[in-house]
Structures are given as structure tokens and as C-alpha cells.
Structure 1
């Protein structure tokens, strides 16, 4: 059974409250339950969210040798956290980058994670996580 760590970055704990017209009305807890419902018997899932770059890095290191893949929504760290990217690369795990909104609509437009990702799913709401996991099940 494949083991996948789903990482959510800063402010995603505020989903459902924060700018609902932009990010939707579902909480992160609701989204995690939906994901678990779809994939519970197919893959082993680990969920983690933090507003702290250090804690995300430590969590990635903690899962060295345990997981097969990462699905990450780096949120505000998308554009500059080489430390999180280096942590993922250091444990030699393939990953998919997911964003709830279309990140290419904002002024920064460039993710540092995209170059090394299996793929990038952006602007599809929480369904992006489900697509990422379905892809990992089918393709790898």
C-alpha cells in the first residue's frame, strides 16, 4: 500500500473562514475527511498542516524512509521556501504540487516547487488533492 504525506502550508488552517469567495467555504478538516473517504482503503494517508516553515521541514525529515510520495500545497511558501523544497529533495521522494486557487493569476506567478514536481495542479479547489492522489495511484 502506497504511503503519502499531504502537507498544507501557512494559513490553510483558515480555509472556510479566509476569503471564502476565493478559497471556498470548506474547512481543511472537511477537505481532509473528503480525501480520506475517497482513498482510505487504497493508500495510507498522513495529513500535516503548519504555519511554520521549520515545522514543515521537520515533518518532512520525520517521514524519511516511511512515505512513497508527498502532495504539497506550500501556500505562502510557494515562491521562496527553498528550505522546504530542499527538505523534500533531501529525502528523495517524488511530489505533486497542489494549489486551491490559480496561482498564476497573482503577481508572483512562479513557484519554486514546480520544476521538480511530478506535476502541478492549480485552481481546482480541493478537488486538486483528489486528482493528485488518483494520479499517484494510477501512474506509480
Structure 2
């Protein structure tokens, strides 16, 4: 049976492709979902791909993952730097977590250098654009073997 990965995307990622393409690239969230689905199929993973601009909705999905997923791939976007609630939810479900950022958060504004999610993630991939999702799925597939 295929291992299940919940892929979560935080606020403003629904604007990818049009929002600051010089920073975030021209890939849309639909493009990233297609990349994730292709990668997951090749790795014998199943994915549930979601996006929300609402912190509480992301927390609920993380809590629900306890019964529906084997791992979580999350791009928490701006919530990386502010959300203790997402940190706590990820810690509570105790599933392997891969954190992804399209940009290198350490080359950006100082307030973006800290992520509350990183402390509960098995790994962090940042700065490789949409390819970071592929890399994270590959790493999670290895972790789940």
C-alpha cells in the first residue's frame, strides 16, 4: 500500500505565478501540484495536496493527518515565522515533516530567518524553487521505507 503524504501550502501561495515572479518563479500552485503528483507516482506515494490562507484550517488539517497520512510536506509560507500553533500541531501529530520554501529564507529579510516549523521538521529544503517539493517528497519516501 502506498504511503500517504499530506502536502500543505500556506498563505499567498495560491498567487504563485503572478506574485513577485522574480522571487518566487513563474510556476503556479497548479504546476507545483502536478510536479508533486508525478513525483509521488514515481515514488509509490499518494498525496493529498492543499492550500489555505487560514492558519486555523492548516492546524485542523495537520491534526486530521494523524489518521490520514504517514508524513507531511509543508510550505508554511509566512506562517513559518509566526505560527506557534502550526509548530504545536506538527509536534502533536508526531509524523515525519519536511519543510519547503521556494526561496532561501536565510537570504531574505531578517524576520524570515527563523522558522517555528524547522524545529519539528526532519528536514528543511529552501531556495530551489518548485524543485524543493520534488526533493522533499524523495526524502520523505526514503524516510518512510
TM-score range, shorter chain: over 0.9
User: Which runs of no fewer than 5 residues in structure 1 stay unpaired?
Assistant: none
User: Which runs of no fewer than 5 residues in structure 2 stay unpaired?
Assistant: none
User: Counterparts of 2:89 and 2:143 in 1: how far apart (Å)?
Assistant: 24
Deviation >3 Å, runs of 4+: none
RMSD: 1.1
SS in 1 for 2:78: helix
Structure 1 residue 63: deviation in Å?
2.1
User: Counterparts of 1:98 and 1:38 in 2: how far apart (Å)?
Assistant: 15
The number of residues matched between the two structures is: 140
Structure 1 residue 85: deviation in Å?
1.1
- Tell me if the contact between 1:64 and 1:91 (Cα under 8 Å) persists in the aligned partners: yes
Q: TM-score scaled by structure 1?
A: 0.95
Structure 1 residue 30: deviation in Å?
1.1
Residue in 2 that maps onto 1:76: 78
- Tell me if the contact between 2:62 and 2:89 (Cα under 8 Å) persists in the aligned partners: yes
Residue in 2 that maps onto 1:2: 3
Q: Which has the larger share of helix?
A: 2
- Tell me if the contact between 1:65 and 1:91 (Cα under 8 Å) persists in the aligned partners: no
SS in 2 for 1:61: helix
